[in-house]
Structure 1
């Protein structure tokens, strides 16, 4: 098996990465930083985002595994004290045969950004947000090529189902199970008056829908896409839709999404 390790740049994650690579080598696994079959992310959910964007052109051929070095993350199935067990299972050392993981696929967002000069295309695993630099963001929002609302406020967050537990939740969006192919548009501190009227709640769009966000005036805008920040001075529009591609996670044991939600936000000791 060909594998690669993406790790957070701290002492603990560096040490764990070296340890895992040594155990993997002893078990006959091949380190491959160009065309791996499995990418092991050691760190936090942010580390998984880095791994996703590093191999974004190979999503059809790669599965990801998360090892969390802190509290359990939404993209991590394994804790640091289970590293040897993970290497055994991936290599088949423990049972003298390689266990084929269950491949779980999560939806992504396609993002088309049009400026006065060019068109660029991106994908997001968690979300992208749009905010004004010098003041409030003013934008027209269309759904399926029909005007829906005029927005004015701090910004707009568009998230995937797996990203619904991140920034989207903090601005009042709903949590969506990653088996549902959808995207969610949530307002960030909208201003409602006679000129600007918004729905006031998040919108969940199915796979066959899309939404367009138009910059309604000359304004400096910053777009944050997962861990990336993209300044925009001449934005015309952004189209977002559910991508036809998905990210694959290699699951060697079950860990239901709602269990992750409970552990992250409610706690394991609540009856």
Structure 2
């Protein structure tokens, strides 16, 4: 098995990385940072997001495993003190996996001839600096509304537990291959109207934004931030690609939600 390890810069994570790397090499596994079969992240969800984008062109041939060295991460199944158990699971690997939907984002920048394509694991959001975002919203090619407010966030099912949730969006199970559009500070009065509620969009429909002219847009795609750019059009859709996790002890989705936001059943 070919593996790669991606760790954050914290001393604890770097120590775990060195320990795990040594154990895997002793088991005659091959370290291959360019074309791994398994990518092990050590840190938290931010570290896994970084690894996802590093290897986003190889998603069909890679499975991810997350080890958390701080607070429990939504995408991380293993603790730092379970490295020996993880090594045993990797040795007995038979290719088992679980996959989640991703978001495809296509952006047409002014003065560029072609659409720029991105992939998001959690979400993409469009905002404007200092002024109100004004954009026409189309769903499935049909005009839906003219939005005015701070911005719009489009999330995947697993991303529905992140920024989307803080905006009042619904938590969506990843078995549903849908995306969700949540408003950020929308303006609703006698003159301007929006739907003023999160929307769950079917997998075949594109959500397309035509923002008003300007260059003070901020576009975020997971941890990537594009600011000060002139955007003519943005299109969102559930991607054809998926992310795959090695299913050694991958937690049930609702257990993850419970662990992340509620705690155990006894309230501890």
Other-structure match for 2:170: 174
Residue 202 of structure 1 aligns with which residue? 198
CA distance in structure 2 between the partners assigned to 1:232 and 1:112 by the alignment? 17
Q: Verify the 8 A CA contact 1:27 1:88 in the aligned structure 2.
A: no
2:87 is aligned to 87
State whether structure 2 residue 156 is matched by structure 1 residue 160.
Answer: yes
1:53-101 CA-to-partner distances (Å, cap 9, x unmatched) read 000110110000011111221111111111111012202xxxxxx2325
Give 4+ residue runs of structure 1 displaced > 6 Å after superposition: none
Unaligned runs of 5+ in 2: none
2:103 corresponds to which of 86, 106, 109? 109
- 2:188 aligns with 192
Distance in 2 between residues matched to 1:138 and 1:47, nearest whole Å: 34
Three-state SS of the structure 2 residue aligned to 1:264 is helix
- Is 1:214 the counterpart of 2:210? The answer is yes
- The partner residue of 2:145 within 149, 160, 167 is 149
Aligned-pair Cα RMSD in Å: 1.2
Q: Is this contact kept in 2: 1:165–1:175, CA < 8 A?
A: yes
TM, length-normalised to structure 2: 0.96
- For residues 208-264 of structure 1, give each alpha carbon's deviation from its aligned partner in whole angstroms, at most 9, with x where no partner exists: 111101112325101111111112431101000000110111110241010010111
Conserved? CA contact 1:223–1:232, under 8 Å = no
Q: CA deviation at 1:154?
A: 1.2
Distance in 2 of aligned mates of 1:233 and 1:77? 38
| Equivalent residue number for residue 35 of structure 1 | 35
Structure 1 segments unaligned to the other structure (5+ residues): 92-97
Q: Are 1:135 and 2:107 counterparts?
A: no
Between the aligned partners of 1:270 and 1:12, the Cα distance in structure 2 is 30
CA distance in 1: counterparts of 2:249 and 2:213, whole angstroms: 51
Match of 1:250 among 241, 246, 250: 246
Alpha-carbon offset, residue 173 of structure 1? 0.4
**1:264 corresponds to:** 260
For 1:214 and 1:81, the matched residues in 2 are separated by 49
3-state SS of 2:6 partner: strand
Q: Distance in 2 between matches of 1:81 and 1:150?
A: 52
Q: Determine if the alignment matches structure 1 residue 183 to structure 2 residue 183.
A: no
